[in-house]
Structure 1
Amino acid sequence: MSKPGVLLDRDGTIIVDRGYVGSVDRVEFIPGSVEAIAALNEAGIPVAVVTNQAGVARGYYGIEDVHLVHKHIDEELARHGARIDLWLFCPYHPDGVVKAFARASADRKPGPGMGLAAAQALDLDLARSWVVGDSATDVGLAAAVGARALYVGPPNSADPDVASFPDLAAAVEFILANPDASTAGGPHAVPRRFPAHRFDRADEYGGAYASELYRAFGGVDLTEVAKAAEILLDAYQRDAAVFACGNGGSASIANHLQCDHVKGVRNGTDLTTRVFSLSTNMELFSAIANDLGYDQVFEYQLQSMARPGDVLLAVSSSGRSPNIVRALDWARANGMRTIALTGFEGGPARAMANAAIHVDATNYGIVEDTHQACMHLLAQYVRQSRMTVDAVVSQTF
């Protein structure tokens, strides 16, 4: 089971920030930091260091110098019975002069890359983990990965929404005394959001977007995907109808689903599926909205076309759209099986559906991109399940 951990900044948190510390002779431990790390070790809490090292990109020192500094810190920690479980650093900077490192990177804080890598390597539950550092980039990393932020350093530089401590020793004392604190008066539980700050370069934003998309898709509960696949395959084998619906960008996913789950699924299989999008017929859609109200645009169509045993697949980033909730409620009350694709907090739709594919993200683009991928993988899974092994490996998906 995933566990909480602590992600520490390096310069200004563990050692004195002298500006681009790239050699052992410039390492000076902040009083109490070694003992604080030892206390985390003693409590069984994994400790990772996540540090921006733009000095590599700027040509002030090399990759090997960073490793030597970390080796020296490890040796000093070991003398006091302390250890770092994982070292992560980002040598990239878009304004660097060393060509190999002169680029944007989603690993560079406040980008999420190093936080996600730490979670994967140490099996961390980021929502229960802490990011401790002395700058806004550390608070931004916490926001980007949904962890809890603690600030250490001069109080005049602290974010008013983040608990502030004079040094790492005080912050760790708080963590050990309040492992589950996340309310006002304790460390501020920063909601996962993307973007967590403004980007000045499209390539940097693109890298961060890709990392967030990877995180969001990786967090999808695949047991719910399996439930949805079983519901769809069963419906197609029984010649039951499948109805899809959504608003805005989610409507385009519902429309695309009709294409892939009819044309795509039939390609190389014995299935002739009956799939309909309730978001396509603008004449009918607008007539219902105009005469009866927008909340009924999907429910009204189901009343005319759906039968017990059919399936409704509802796509809603928020899971709260009234017309989606009404459609799911009607479907459930009239013998239909239901699938919901949701994001954000999931809303009522997530709780109502027989299978709920939920995306833990608060960015509409990320949620919709993940929903689109899930729509595709469901179609492709159904298709390949009705093909021979030879056909699967010989055809293009």
Structure 2
Amino acid sequence: MSQAGVLLDRDGTIIVDSGYVGSVDRVEFIDGAIEAIGSLNRAGIPVAVVTNQAGVARGHYAIEDVEQVHKHMIAELANRGAHVDLWLFCPYHPDGSVASFARASWDRKPAPGMALAAADALDLDLAASWVIGDRDSDIGLARAVGATPLFLGPGGTTEPDVPRFPDLAAAVAHVLSVRRENGARQHIEPPKFPARQFDRADSYGGAYVAELSRAFDTVDLSRVHAAAELLTDAYLRDGAVFACGNGGSASIANHLQCDHVKGVRNGTGLLARVQSLSTNMELFSAIANDIGYEHVFSYQLESIARPGDVLIAVSSSGRSPNIVRAVDWANANGMRTIALTGFEGGDTRARANVPIHVDSRNYGIIEDAHQALMHLLAQYVRQSQLSADAVAGQVF
């Protein structure tokens, strides 16, 4: 099962931020930081470093210099009985002076790329994890992936509701205290619906709407934002988006193609390249008949998908072999994956880069919520590309 972890900023959190630390001689550990990381290690909590290193893009130092700094830090941590499980850094910045690194990046905080990579590598449940850092970009990263932000330092953040701590040692003490007090986060079983027989459609309708509202309230909207950012990025760089689903979920995948091609383009001119893998019955049935039903989506992706494309997998149970196989193929071949799931979510929820989960055990409720999420994503992307005046004048 996925586990809670801690994502740490580097400069200003573990070592002193003296401005573009790109050489070993400039590394100065903050008092108590190594011991704090050791405390996380002993508690069995995975630790990842996620750091923006715009100094590469700005020409202050090279990729190799960042790696040397990290090798030095690894040795110093080891000398004092501590370790970091994963080191990630983003060398890109849109205002950089080094051409090969002068661009926006999905990995640059507050974008979620590094956190999603850490979750994939360390099997983290980001919703149960913490992001600790000294900048608003660290808080933004936590918000983007549904993690809990902890801020270090006396000021510098515009979000006063985020817990503040003087240093990493104090923040880690808080993490360990919360873990001891609350224990592992346990999943609360959603209520069965319907749990009794109804004799009137109007009373059943009222109960249905109430259950739909309850179920939608379980959706982690920060995951929805992460999915929207991923889709927007794909559309703006002319990446392809593929959708797939079985049964009622197939209709959502097909409808998604309509709203994300025609709807998103309306008023924006954005030419979104979206295709449903559930819609071509001749191809779909040929693959199912000749190769196997579990291959109906992955086989199509092998022919038409490319690294950097996006897959949206819609599955109420999250257990369908053809859906799981498609997500696995996409992950293994450089695609980004979004999942809309229900029930326990199955392997689809566990393996997608951005899982959006509806906590319900009623197929109709789950599919209604998935349809709403599909519309929500299309409308958000569309309005994000319009001016404020244009949004007010458009019909959505």
For normalisation by structure 1, the TM-score amounts to: 0.55
Alignment check: 8 A CA contact 2:130 2:147 kept? yes
| Secondary structure of 1:132 counterpart | strand
| Secondary structure of 1:170 counterpart | helix
2:9 maps to which residue? 9
Counterpart of 2:33 in structure 1: which amino acid? S
Structure 1 segment 126-165 matched on structure 2, within 5 A: 126-155=126-155, 157=157, 159-165=159-165
Alignment check: 8 A CA contact 2:358 2:366 kept? no
Give the Å deviation of 1:78: 1.0
Q: What do the CA deviations read for 1:166-222 (whole angstroms, capped 9, x no partner)?
A: 111111000001025999xxxxxx9515657x99xxx99616999xx99x98xx9xx
Unpaired runs of 5+ residues, structure 1, are: 184-189, 233-241, 271-316, 320-342, 370-397
1:22 maps to which residue? 22
Give the Å deviation of 1:145: 1.3
Structure 1 segment 1-397 matched on structure 2, within 5 A: 1-155=1-155, 157=157, 159-179=159-179, 180=182, 191-193=221-223, 195=225, 206=233, 228=246, 260=279, 265=284, 346=358, 351-353=362-364, 364=375, 366=377
Give the Å deviation of 1:344: 6.4
The verdict on how the C-alpha distance between 1:46 and 1:268 changes in structure 2, with shifts beyond 3 A counting, is: closer
The verdict on how the C-alpha distance between 1:362 and 1:175 changes in structure 2, with shifts beyond 3 A counting, is: farther
Distance 2:46 2:159 in 1: 25
1:186 maps to which residue? none
> What stretches of structure 1 move > 4 A for 4+ residues in a row?
180-183, 193-196, 207-210, 248-253, 255-259, 261-270, 354-369
Alignment check: 8 A CA contact 1:105 1:207 kept? no
Give the Å deviation of 1:155: 3.9
Give the Å deviation of 1:367: 7.4
Alignment check: 8 A CA contact 2:131 2:150 kept? yes
The verdict on how the C-alpha distance between 1:55 and 1:245 changes in structure 2, with shifts beyond 3 A counting, is: closer
The verdict on how the C-alpha distance between 1:266 and 1:42 changes in structure 2, with shifts beyond 3 A counting, is: closer
Counterpart of 1:28 in structure 2: which amino acid? E
Distance 2:171 2:157 in 1: 16
Distance 2:22 2:225 in 1: 30
Counterpart of 1:109 in structure 2: which amino acid? K
The CA RMSD measured in Å over matched residues stands at 4.9
Distance 2:54 2:277 in 1: 48
Give the Å deviation of 1:359: 6.2
Alignment check: 8 A CA contact 2:10 2:49 kept? yes
Structure label with greater radius of gyration: 1
| Secondary structure of 1:116 counterpart | helix
Alignment check: 8 A CA contact 1:57 1:98 kept? yes
Give the Å deviation of 1:25: 1.2
Distance 1:257 1:101 in 2: 34
Distance 1:72 1:119 in 2: 25
Distance 2:379 2:373 in 1: 11
The verdict on how the C-alpha distance between 1:347 and 1:250 changes in structure 2, with shifts beyond 3 A counting, is: farther
Distance 1:208 1:88 in 2: 26
Give the Å deviation of 1:24: 1.0
Between Structure 1 and Structure 2, how many residues are aligned?
A: 269
Unpaired runs of 5+ residues, structure 2, are: 186-219, 263-274, 290-338, 342-354, 381-396
